[in-house]
Amino acid sequence: MAIREGPEPSRRDRAASALREFVPRVFPLGLLILGLAIALASLGTDVETAYSARFSGTIVPTNQTIPIGPWSAQYLQVNLPVGACPLRIYLATSGESVNFNSTGARPTRWTDCTSRSVTTTEEVVDLILVNDGTRPEPYNVTVEAYSIRMPYGWIALPGTFLAMTGLILLVPRLVLQQATKMKDDLDRWKRK
């Protein structure tokens, strides 16, 4: 007696069947990768110069206050490309500036010929130039305040949502596949 088989599936049916098997496997991984790519793209930054100034001249053995603030930016960088070692630049808040002018107490943030640059995220209203030497010293000071923006930061939310959805769909499937494989291996081992 001959066994009669049904009609051979058409090309369209085979493609639909392959697609039904392929999509559940690849879709979660695609969501995860897409979500991570979007979240990574959200980390891009723009650095904008909010304030820039250059001061130069000669200072006698005394001090000089240069007002630079207030400025609104995330951080401030002060450079001393030209200046001898007796010359120091102190970064002062308004309170430190008043305190220095009344008592002579110097602010804690400063730069000189050894480091030539100082960066801060704190308030700076005045630069105090102090010449501790015995003769006039030339100086050149550059001040730049920078703002850092993340213009695409908002896309981190949908990126995180897509990545988490991909993980939620992918991890149980992988765990189930591994559990099934371990069960099959255990059954084979018991049969031997």
Same domain, 35 and 62: no
23 within some domain: no
Would you state the pLDDT for residue 177? 81
Let me know how long the chain is: 192
Same domain, 183 and 93: no
User: Which among 130, 126, 117 has a CA at the least distance from the CA of 77?
Assistant: 117
Q: What is the pLDDT of residues 76-103, one digit of tens each?
A: 888 887 767 788 888 888 888 889 888 9
| CA distance readout (Å), 43 to 18, 33, 46, 123 | 38, 16, 10, 26
Would you state the pLDDT for residue 17? 74
Q: How many CB atoms lie within 10 A of CB 38?
A: 19
Domain with 53, as residue range(s), is 46-149
Same domain, 144 and 156: no
Kindly give the confidence (pLDDT) of every residue in the chain, 192 residues in length, as a single tens digit, with 9 standing for 90 and above: 555 565 677 778 777 777 777 777 788 888 889 999 999 988 888 888 888 889 988 888 888 888 887 777 788 888 887 767 788 888 888 888 889 888 988 888 888 777 888 888 888 888 989 888 888 888 888 899 888 888 888 888 999 999 999 888 888 888 888 888 888 888 888 887
Q: Could you give the maximum distance between any two Cα atoms of the chain, in Å?
A: 119
Same domain, 36 and 78: no
Same domain, 76 and 114: yes
111 within some domain: yes
46 forms beta bridges with: 149
Q: Does the global pTM surpass 0.75?
A: no
Query: From CA 138, how far away is CA 169, in angstroms rounded?
Result: 68
192 within some domain: no
Could you give the 3-state DSSP secondary structure of residue 38? helix
Query: From CA 145, how far away is CA 156, in angstroms rounded?
Result: 27
11 within some domain: no
